[in-house]
Structure formats: C-alpha cells, structure tokens
Amino acid sequence: MANVLATTALLLLSQSAQVAAFVTTPAVPKTCIDSRAKHTTPQQLYATLDDNSHYDSPAIDLSNTIIDDRRNFIKSIVSLGLAASSIPTAALAEDAAVSAATPSPVQVVAIGDTKKLFNEGRALEAQGNILAAQRLYIKVTKISPRFIYGWANLSNTLVAQGQLNDADQTYTKAINLCEENLKEAEESFGIKRCDDLYLLLLNRGSVRLNNGMSKEALTDLQKANTLKARPDAVILQNLARAQELNSFYAQSDKSYTTAISMTANEVSPFWLRSSMVKYQLNDINGAMDLMKRVENRFPEAPEVRAAYAVLLLAKGDEDAARKKFLEIPDRQRVKYADGEFLEKVVAWPSAMKEGLSTLTKAVGDSSQESQNQQ
C-alpha cells in the first residue's frame, strides 16, 4: 500500500532534473525541481505509512510532500519531566553515560506517541500544511532520534521549502540509521529491516543533483541503482543526468536510452537531455530523431527551439537553423549568448554550446549580449 504514493513521488522528483530541462519555459510544473535554476522550486517528496506494517521512505520530488505524526506529545513530556524531577542528578548522568555507550536499537516502526505524531504530520502534509507537518517531524526526531522515517519525512518538508542543504543533512541521518539497521538485522534474527535504503539514496542523490553536488549525487544514484537491482525509470533518469554532469556521456546515453525505452509512449522533458548527450557523442541522427519528438511535444519551449536550431545547423541547414532560433522571443533568445547562463542554468554539454555559439553569432545575438553586459 505504501509503495503507491512513494512511487508517484519518486516519479515527480526524478523529473526534477529533467522537466527542469526547460528552465526558461514560463510554466515549469510545480511538481518539478529545476536542477539548474539557482533558486529551485521544491517538488514533493512522499513518505507513506502502513499502520500495520512499515513506512516507505519518501520519494523525493521537490514540490509536494506527504508525511505523518501526532500529539499526546505534551502529555508524555510532562510525565517525563515529573519523573525526572525525582531522580538524583548523579543517576541521570550515569544513565546518560550508559545510554551513550549502548545506543538504543534503530526504529523502523514508530510506536506510542511517536506514531501518533508521525501520523498527524503525514495528515498535515497531505493537506499541504508543510510547516505544521515539519514542526511535528522535529518533535518526532527529538522523542525518537533513532526512528529512521522521522528524519526522512523531516527531509521531505525541508525539500518542499527549498532548504536543500538542511535536507541533505537529515536524509544523511536517515540513511545512516537505515544502514545501521541493516547491519543489526544481519547479526540478529527477528529485527525489522529498513527496506527503503535505495529510496533514501535516490532522494538524497536527487537533492544533491539539484544543489550543485554532481559528484556526490552520482555516488548516491549509482548505489540506489545497484540496490534496486532492476531497471527503474526514475532512478535511471536521475542517474543519467548525474552521469551527464560528470561528463560520463557514454554511460549517460545508456541510462537515458533505457529510461526512454521504459516510458516510450510519453515524451518527457528529459528526452531533450538525452538528445543533447547523443549530439555530444556525435550521434547526430539519433539526436535529431529524439529532438523531433521533443519539439513536437514542446514546440514553444525556448530551450527546445534553441537546441533544435543547433541540430539543424549541424545537419547543414543554416537557414532553417536561423529561422528556428529566431522563433525564440528576443529577451529569452539573448540569454543563449550568455556563457554563464549556458554553464550554470541550462548546463548544456560542450558540443551543444559550441554549435550555439556559431548560431548566436550568425544572428547577431553575441554582439547584443556584449553590449548589454557593458
């Protein structure tokens, strides 16, 4: 049951780096995080709960979020406070030392007040009340700091607010706890296993992919792909993007191609990235075949028009290339003569940037951009 929402969320997040392909397009879906824009719009992450079994870790998607938890927190804290007041300070210090030496087992399933808070947080998140859900998750992590999904769901709310650095840290806590649990499960019989390590790694990898940490993202996404053990379109889309950003173009092409084969009936923005990677590998015909389908699906997207124009130029049709490029409104088109925009915002591969440079000079945008900078 939990997997349904988690999978949906994952799909949303995975599109972060891909749907974000059209950074300059006015309407970037709310459910997508722009992996290239400086200020990203968070997508939603989902963590789902089956009251009778376990919790699916959040599948990241930086703009939606589902989480859970409940109250009786005040009541439990008051009781703890009263009990503690009658215990000598020395005894407290001794207990703390023992606790530090022998940490409690990792929690995969929430119980008691933690479960109530967690469920209420999920309900608030489902209603779109991210801040209220976040406050409950913070309480959960304080009451049960060894509960994996308290940290995972807190991460979701942080991503939903665009706080990617903090989300990276809290996902890391969840990942460390999950890995610790798996070691415990190997050594002892009957311990509830954390089965969501690949999802947690996918989420953190996606956050890092969207936060300028392409090398670290690649490591996480490779691990997620290995743990999944079978092709997964969401993982592959994000993995391909990470491989592309790290200049592993042949690997990226393979990952993109597999992801496309799994979603061939629906043209997605990440197909544009795949086309550009093929062009980088000098597969101009393959690049053009994909580009035509992307252009047919997103005919007015400025980035699609610019990329299509570069491919037309590579095919030797300069007139058609100029015409296609000039279809982009002037204020948007001049951005494609800006090296920083190409490097940091749309993050095009080098071969595409070289072709675009030739094109912008041919239509006079390079000189216009120079004048604007002066």
Q: Name the pairing type of β-strands 45-49 and 55-59.
A: antiparallel
Region 68-79: mean pLDDT is 28
Among 8-12, 179-183, 206-210, the range scoring the smallest mean pLDDT is 8-12
Task: Give, in order, the Cα–Cα distances in Å from 356 to each of 67, 213, 307, 343, 353.
Answer: 44, 26, 8, 12, 5
| Between 171 and 43, the higher pLDDT residue | 171
Mean per-residue pLDDT over the chain, rounded: 77
43 by DSSP, 3-state: which? coil
Instruction: Name the DSSP letter for residue 147.
Output: B
| Between 28 and 167, the higher pLDDT residue | 167
The whole-angstrom separation of Cα 217 and Cα 26 is: 27
The whole-angstrom separation of Cα 270 and Cα 263 is: 11
Region 328-351: mean pLDDT is 93
Query: What tokens appear for 290 in the block?
Result: 């994909």
Whether 48 has a pLDDT exceeding 70, the answer reads no
Whether 295 has a pLDDT exceeding 80, the answer reads yes
Whether 364 has a pLDDT exceeding 90, the answer reads no
Whether 331 has a pLDDT exceeding 50, the answer reads yes
What is the homologous superfamily of the domain 2-72+107-276 according to CATH? Tetratricopeptide repeat domain (1.25.40.10)
The whole-angstrom separation of Cα 269 and Cα 323 is: 23
Considering the chain, tell me which residue range(s) the CATH 1.25.40.10 domain(s) occupy: 2-72+107-276
Q: At what angle do helices 112-126 and 73-85 cross, to 10 degrees?
A: 150
Region 257-275: mean pLDDT is 93
* Residue of 210, 168, 183, 207 whose CA lies nearest to 37: 210
Task: Match 């597999």 to its residue by tokens.
Answer: 258
The pLDDT value given to residue 229:
87
pTM for the structure as a whole:
0.73
The pLDDT value given to residue 256:
97
Query: What tokens appear for 151 in the block?
Result: 């940290």
Q: Name the pairing type of β-strands 45-49 and 65-66.
A: parallel
The pLDDT value given to residue 16:
33
Instruction: Name the DSSP letter for residue 336.
Output: G
Q: At what angle do helices 130-143 and 148-160 cross, to 10 degrees?
A: 150
Whether residue 302 contacts residue 328, with contact meaning beta carbons closer than 8 Å, is answered with yes
Whether residue 33 contacts residue 62, with contact meaning beta carbons closer than 8 Å, is answered with yes
In what side-by-side order are the strands of the sheet with 45-49?
Answer: 55-59, 45-49, 65-66
Whether 248 has a pLDDT exceeding 80, the answer reads yes
Whether 126 has a pLDDT exceeding 70, the answer reads yes
The whole-angstrom separation of Cα 59 and Cα 199 is: 6
The whole-angstrom separation of Cα 238 and Cα 18 is: 8
Task: Give, in order, the Cα–Cα distances in Å from 230 to each of 126, 205, 258.
Answer: 30, 18, 11
The pLDDT value given to residue 102:
65
Whether residue 280 contacts residue 248, with contact meaning beta carbons closer than 8 Å, is answered with no
* Cβ atoms within 10 Å of 146's Cβ, excluding its own: 17
Whether 246 has a pLDDT exceeding 60, the answer reads yes
The pLDDT value given to residue 199:
96
